[in-house]
Structure 1
Amino acid sequence: MSVQERKQRERAERERLIVATARELAEQQGWDAVTTRQLAERIEYSQPVLYSHFRGKREIIGAVALQGATEMAAAVRAATSAEDDPRARVTALARAYLDFAEHNPAVYDALFQLDGGLAYAQEDTPEPLKDAFAALLETLDAVAGDGVHPGLFTEVFWAALHGLATLTRAGRLLPEDA
């Protein structure tokens, strides 16, 4: 292994550590507690090292969001793959989505509430976000109905799920009613 390969590996590991630490801190104390100073202290690197990976908190939020999108897509696919009936797959998709939102509130906020500098529904949308949408579309395409655009149906269904997750977190809707 060359020195350059080792340095790239170490850099990637530091970046993973920064993202994991930010996520952990946000889940424990909320995103307000995630500062570059706090992160630098927790990962035992200087703030300039942190800034060599991310320009600031916004990019860190974006990195957590991308990681979360990948995890959410995997959770949805795992839940829906166990079902043969299209309606049961939709129910499994909804439950997996709402469970993800409930068990990962800081990640969910990074994905949908905070500015992580990510482009949604555009040409330059990062691949993990596109894949999260695709994970929903794979199931919802089968139930969209004749004459209904599957992408639009998926967007509306996703919006409904987001509303349920948000209302449940706010205590306006009981979890069992979601």
Structure 2
Amino acid sequence: MPAASGTHTAGRPLRLPRSARRKQLLEAAQEVFVAQGYHAAAMDDIAERAGVSKPVLYQHFPGKLELYLALLDTHSDAIVAKVREAMAATTDNKQRVEGAMRAYFEFVDHESEAFRLVFESDLVNDPAVRERVERVERGCVEAITETIMVDTGVSRDFAELLASGLCGAAETAARFWLAGGRRVPKDEAEQLIAALSWRGIASFPITGRDGGPA
């Protein structure tokens, strides 16, 4: 059924500002991609869901892949920004770990469709899609690496590996939590994984001569 709200007035198409129209088209596309998967989705379906003609859709996006990539860019930037905000919000490292876990779980909880698009894409073998998924992973790791270096004294190589493990634990746990039907309350799930991660990361001492753990 077309998402007609805000798209027609008295039988005539409502002319939205370009940014508002783009947002509307992306929202409709997300619904279709999540419901049908990339390969089964058609531009006709997306135009119908948005309540616009195909020419209007093509004015903003030249093809289905470009539309899909625009969605990935939007949500990729969002999750990386959440992790960066968690690092900048406090100087208490325990709270930073808790904030990083919360960033993943909140993204999964409130943006579950977006999370599936980024991390469970059926187009993951496409180079452009894979590049964006890897950009998310790199961005989240980079957001945490500097903090680990400063506060543990380990080298960048060690810090990046630790940050990768921290992000991997958060992503995997959040995906498992979502797939399992959110059986554990979100706050408790965040605290559980944060406690596990903190107990590991907090044990790292100042570096030895090789730049690794002493």
Provide TM-score, normalisation by structure 2. Answer: 0.59
The question of 1:71 aligning with 2:88 is answered: no
CA spacing shift, 1:129–1:35, aligned 2, 3 Å:
farther
Question: Corresponding residue for 2:36?
Answer: 32
2:145 pairs with 1:137: yes
**Aligned counterpart in structure 2 of residue 118 of structure 1, from 112, 129, 139:** 129
In 1, the alpha carbon distance for the partners of 2:68 and 2:149 equals 31
Residue equivalent to 2:158:
149
Distance in 2, matches of 1:91 and 1:43, equals 38
Report Cα offsets for 1:8-50 as digits up to 9, x if no partner: xx66654333213223x25xx9431864223212333322443
Same amino acid, percent of matched pairs = 23
Mapped partners of 1:133, 1:46: distance in 2: 41
Shift of 1:152: 2.6
Name which one, 1 or 2, has greater alpha-carbon Rg: 2
State the match for 2:174 in structure 1.
Answer: 165
Question: How many Å apart are 1:94 and its aligned residue?
Answer: 1.1
Tell me, in whole angstroms, the C-alpha distance in 2 between the residues paired with 1:44 and 1:130.
37
Alpha-carbon distance, 1:167 to partner: 0.8
Match of 1:163, SS state, is helix
> Counterpart in 2 of 1:4?
none
Runs of 4 or more consecutive aligned structure 1 residues displaced over 6 Å after TM superposition? none
Offset of residue 131 of structure 1: 4.1
Q: 2: CA distance between counterparts of 1:95 and 1:69? A: 16
| Structure 2 gap segments, 5+ residues each | 1-16, 194-214
**1:94–1:161: 8 Å Cα contact kept in structure 2?**
yes
Secondary structure of the structure 2 residue equivalent to 1:84: coil
Please report the TM-score for the alignment, with normalisation by the length of structure 1.
0.69
Report the aligned-residue RMSD: 3.5
Give the C-alpha shift of residue 67 in structure 1. Answer: 0.7
Please report how far the alpha carbon of residue 99 of structure 1 lies from its aligned counterpart in structure 2 after TM superposition.
Answer: 1.2
111 and 121 in structure 1: CA distance in 2 versus 1, 3 angstrom threshold? closer
Count of aligned residue pairs for this structure pair: 163
CA distance in 2, matches of 1:121, 1:14: 24
Contact 1:141–1:150 under 8 Å retained in 2: yes
Aligned to 1:55: 63
Match of 1:46 among 24, 40, 53: 53
Report the structure, 1 or 2, having the larger helix content: 1
- Cα pair distance change 1:168/1:131, threshold 3 Å: same
